[in-house]
Amino acid sequence: MRKLAGFGVLVAGLLVLAPVLPAAAAGPSDTIRSFYGVLLDTMQHATQLGARGRYQKLEPVVFRTFDVPYMARLSIGPGWASLTPEQKKQAAHAYGRYIAAVYATRFDGFSGERLDVIGEQKIKRGTMVQSRIVKSDGEPVSINYMVHDNAVGYQIRDVYVTGTISELATHRSEFATILRTNGIDGLIASLNKKADDLRG
């Protein structure tokens, strides 16, 4: 996957308002802004943190911000129904660690890029939060997030790179090959290995 180095600037006004807003008042866009706040800080301290530090910083945020069990189920596909409860638990955990590893790899530096949350649009099964990453050379890249209101709050269920390419669909295609060859245990091991390589 192509690296997307150096995202984000948070809106200062939101930082001022955030402490006085009750948690229930947070909306889909606030979820993305909060996530990007952590990413921005990670980027700005990328050298000091190193790959291991970036991963450790992002892992708990990923599990809090993404609907990991839902994403794991859709990425694995029809085979999910035949998994045991323990296999589902292990697969979801490995998937969350994999997402954290991907972001720790992508967000490995900062060179003045800007991230703008443009707006949000209600869709059939949630809200699409639209954002634009403006690179240091001025080139904009659309990154959209499908956010759903779960029991724990608003969580990300899919990411659309360049606005239209579903990462869930990409993962499902990638995982299908591993599942055919090595089964669910092989997929779990493969996802964990990426995280373990960064974690050290």
- For the stretch 46-58, pLDDT in tens is 999 999 999 999 9
In a domain, 81, yes or no: yes
What's the confidence (pLDDT) of residue 3?
46
d(CA 130, CA 138) in angstroms, rounded, equals 18
- Please give the residue that has the higher pLDDT: either 40 or 75: 75
Question: By percentage, how much of the chain surpasses pLDDT 70?
Answer: 87
In a domain, 96, yes or no: yes
What pTM value is reported for the model? Answer: 0.84
What's the confidence (pLDDT) of residue 16?
34
Q: Which residues contact 138 (CB under 8 A, 6 or more apart)?
A: none
Number of domains in the chain: 1
| pLDDT tens digits along 184-199 | 999 999 999 989 988 7
Torsion region of 8: left, alpha or beta (phi above 0 gives left; psi -120 to 50 gives alpha): left
For residues 124-132, average pLDDT: 91
Domain residues for the domain of 131 are 12-199
In a domain, 27, yes or no: yes
- Judged by average pLDDT, the poorest of 9-18, 120-129, 168-177 is 9-18
In a domain, 62, yes or no: yes
| pLDDT tens digits along 143-156 | 999 999 988 899 99
d(CA 45, CA 54) in angstroms, rounded, equals 9
In a domain, 147, yes or no: yes
In a domain, 6, yes or no: no
In a domain, 5, yes or no: no
The CATH number assigned to the domain holding 121 equals 3.10.450.710
In a domain, 1, yes or no: no
